């Protein structure tokens, strides 16, 4: 009977966690959104910040209730630092109600707690592709720090970009303002040696003297001809930030265009790294402060506008990549574990402070440990 209940709970989690991605604005006014799975490692705190999973300007006006025997929850978040005894798969469900107790939405996810020594003794190659959040190098630093601790695989980080803040051993392909399209097509005939005026690291001049996407050449010339085992993509903000926030159709059209450009890059990487696992980061939430958006953009881009775009983008990312036939694509729930208040400075709308960046790095680390646990028998 207990096995039957476990199967029933897993089915409930999958149904609840994907139903939001359809057009459920009328049925669920808050559009409570959870990815199908989240990941955790013993000794490292994992959070779900409730402001990040609902579409509202006033999350404090609603009641959040978490159904799980693990972790603790308050009005702002669910927090969990697992121990080795918690290793395994667990169902976590969130209900959101108004102050009168009327249920407004429910969603569930599967929590995967992975042993702390997963991947020990292995060697892996890791490539990160991203925008300014990656360029800052703080979350790649945190990821590399965690991977350098005992119980982890020996990790080589690939990439041609090593900004001044990148620690020894840290490299990536992360550039401020970049998009999926720019990585797939950008060619600069007159680079100046800086990251601001350069071609995509994956675009070269072909035999016909025209720019062409050529990840195979990149791997051959920049990565010793050895493909990565894992490729992490953190892109989407610049693709969609200026979408028409008042127009859901317009937002979806911008997201559709983003997916088209993403597929161009993903297909070429897959062609050159047939066995690599792709980690697709769900777009991070905004700073909770409208004043941060005023500081950065005056009145041009308000917080509520980007919040609506970002929330829809996460919904679409979960559904789109969840529907793919490529079994080597996975979602990384980087939007859940980022504190929208204390994880941001007061004057920056979309770039976290060190605390927030470290939370992103820990989310990626937990996902990577999960993938290592899933492939430990075959590699």
Q: pLDDT value at position 325?
A: 59
Instruction: For residue 153, give every residue at least 6 positions away whose Cβ sits within 8 Å of its Cβ, in sequence order, or none.
Output: 119, 120, 121, 122, 123, 124, 147, 372
Q: Are residues 244 and 362 in the same domain?
A: yes
What is residue 166's DSSP assignment? Answer: S
Cα atoms in the Cβ-side hemisphere of radius 13 Å centred on 274 = 0
* Cα 270 from Cα 216, distance rounded (Å): 10
Burial 238-255 (b: 16+ CB within 10 A, else e): bbbbebebeeeeebeebb
* Cα 284 from Cα 40, distance rounded (Å): 18
Q: How far is CA 34 from the centre of its chain?
A: 13
Q: Are residues 159 and 88 in the same domain?
A: no
**Residue range 262-292, pLDDT digits in tens:** 999 999 999 999 999 999 999 999 999 999 9
Q: Are residues 127 and 109 in the same domain?
A: no
Residue 125, classed as helix, strand or coil, is strand
Give CA angle at 173 (169, 178), nearest 5°: 150
- Give the CATH number of the domain where residue 198 resides: 3.40.50.1110
- Give the CATH number of the domain where residue 8 resides: 2.60.40.10
Contact 171, 159 (CB under 8 A): yes
Q: Are residues 150 and 207 in the same domain?
A: yes
Q: pLDDT value at position 259?
A: 98
Q: Are residues 75 and 139 in the same domain?
A: no
Low-confidence ranges of the chain (pLDDT < 70): 1-27, 325, 376-379
Residue 34, classed as helix, strand or coil, is coil
Q: Are residues 68 and 196 in the same domain?
A: no
Q: Can you give the residue range of the structural domain that contains 263?
A: 123-374
In a domain, 349, yes or no: yes
Contact 64, 75 (CB under 8 A): yes
Nearest CA among 172, 145, 170 for reference residue 161: 172
- Cβ count near 354 (within 10 Å): 14
Q: Are residues 105 and 133 in the same domain?
A: no
Q: How far is CA 284 from the centre of its chain?
A: 7
Give CA angle at 36 (46, 273), nearest 5°: 90
Q: pLDDT value at position 27?
A: 59
Q: Are residues 276 and 162 in the same domain?
A: yes
Domain tally for the chain? Answer: 2
Q: Are residues 220 and 353 in the same domain?
A: yes
Cα distances (Å, whole numbers) of residue 145 to 47, 142, 208, 296: 20, 5, 44, 31
- Supply the DSSP string of 39-87, one letter for each residue: EE-TTS-EEEEGGGTS--S-GGGSEEEEE-SSSEE-SSEEEE---GGG-
In a domain, 379, yes or no: no
Q: What is the pTM of this model?
A: 0.93
In a domain, 118, yes or no: no
Last residue of a domain, one of 113, 134, 154: 113
Q: pLDDT value at position 115?
A: 98
Cα distances (Å, whole numbers) of residue 300 to 2, 12, 295, 297: 55, 42, 11, 6
Q: Are residues 98 and 176 in the same domain?
A: no
Radius of gyration of the chain (CA): 20
Q: pLDDT value at position 211?
A: 96
**Residue range 180-222, pLDDT digits in tens:** 999 999 999 999 988 889 999 999 999 999 999 999 999 999 9
In a domain, 92, yes or no: yes
Q: pLDDT value at position 323?
A: 74
Residue 181, classed as helix, strand or coil, is helix
Give CA angle at 306 (142, 258), nearest 5°: 80
Q: What are phi and psi of 359, to 5 degrees?
A: -65, -40
In a domain, 197, yes or no: yes
Residue 193 buriedness (CB in 10 A; 0-12 / 13-18 / 19+): exposed
- Supply the DSSP string of 231-285, one letter for each residue: EEEE--HHHHTTS-TT-HHHHHHHHHHHHHHHHHHHHHHHHH-TTPEEEEEPPPP
Last residue of a domain, one of 70, 94, 113: 113
Last residue of a domain, one of 86, 113, 140: 113
Give CA angle at 284 (281, 287), nearest 5°: 170
Q: Are residues 135 and 216 in the same domain?
A: yes
Q: pLDDT value at position 376?
A: 66
Q: What are phi and psi of 123, to 5 degrees?
A: -120, 130
Q: Are residues 6 and 25 in the same domain?
A: yes
């Amino acid at each position: 009977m207990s096995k039957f209940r476990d199967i029933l709970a897993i089915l409930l989690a999958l149904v609840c966690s994907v139903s939001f991605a359809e057009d459920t604005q009328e049925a669920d006014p808050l559009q409570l959104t959870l990815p199908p799975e989240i990941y955790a490692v013993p000794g490292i705190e994992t959070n779900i910040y409730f402001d990040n999973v609902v579409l509202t300007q006033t999350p404090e006006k609603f009641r959040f209730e978490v159904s799980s025997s693990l972790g603790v929850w308050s009005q702002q978040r669910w927090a969990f630092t697992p121990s080795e005894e918690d290793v395994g798969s667990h169902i976590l469900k969130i209900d959101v109600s108004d102050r009168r107790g009327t249920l407004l939405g429910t969603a569930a996810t599967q929590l995967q707690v992975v042993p702390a020594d997963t991947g020990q003794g292995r060697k892996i190659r890791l490539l990160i592709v991203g925008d300014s959040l990656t360029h800052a190098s703080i979350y790649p630093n945190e990821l590399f720090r965690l991977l350098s601790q005992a119980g982890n695989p020996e990790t080589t980080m690939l990439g041609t970009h090593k900004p001044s803040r990148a620690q020894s051993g840290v490299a990536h392909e992360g550039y401020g303002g970049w998009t999926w399209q720019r990585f797939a097509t950008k060619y600069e005939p007159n680079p100046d040696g800086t990251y601001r005026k350069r071609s995509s690291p994956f675009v070269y001049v072909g035999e016909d003297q025209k720019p062409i996407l050529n990840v195979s050449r990149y791997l051959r010339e920049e990565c010793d001809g050895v493909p990565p085992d894992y490729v992490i993509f953190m892109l989407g903000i610049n693709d969609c930030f200026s979408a028409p926030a008042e127009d859901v159709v317009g937002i979806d059209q911008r997201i559709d265009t983003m997916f088209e450009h993403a597929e161009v890059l993903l297909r070429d990487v897959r062609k050159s790294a047939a066995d690599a696992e792709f980690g697709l980061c769900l777009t991070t939430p905004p700073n909770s402060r409208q004043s941060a958006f005023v500081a950065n953009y005056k009145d041009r881009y308000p917080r509520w506008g980007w919040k609506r775009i970002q929330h829809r983008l996460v919904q679409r990312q979960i559904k789109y990549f969840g529907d793919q036939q490529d079994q080597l694509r996975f979602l990384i729930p980087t939007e859940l574990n980022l504190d929208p208040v204390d994880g941001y400075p007061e004057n920056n709308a979309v770039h976290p402070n060190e605390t927030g960046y470290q939370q992103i790095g820990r989310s990626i680390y937990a996902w990577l440990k999960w993938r290592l646990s899933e492939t430990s028998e075959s590699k």
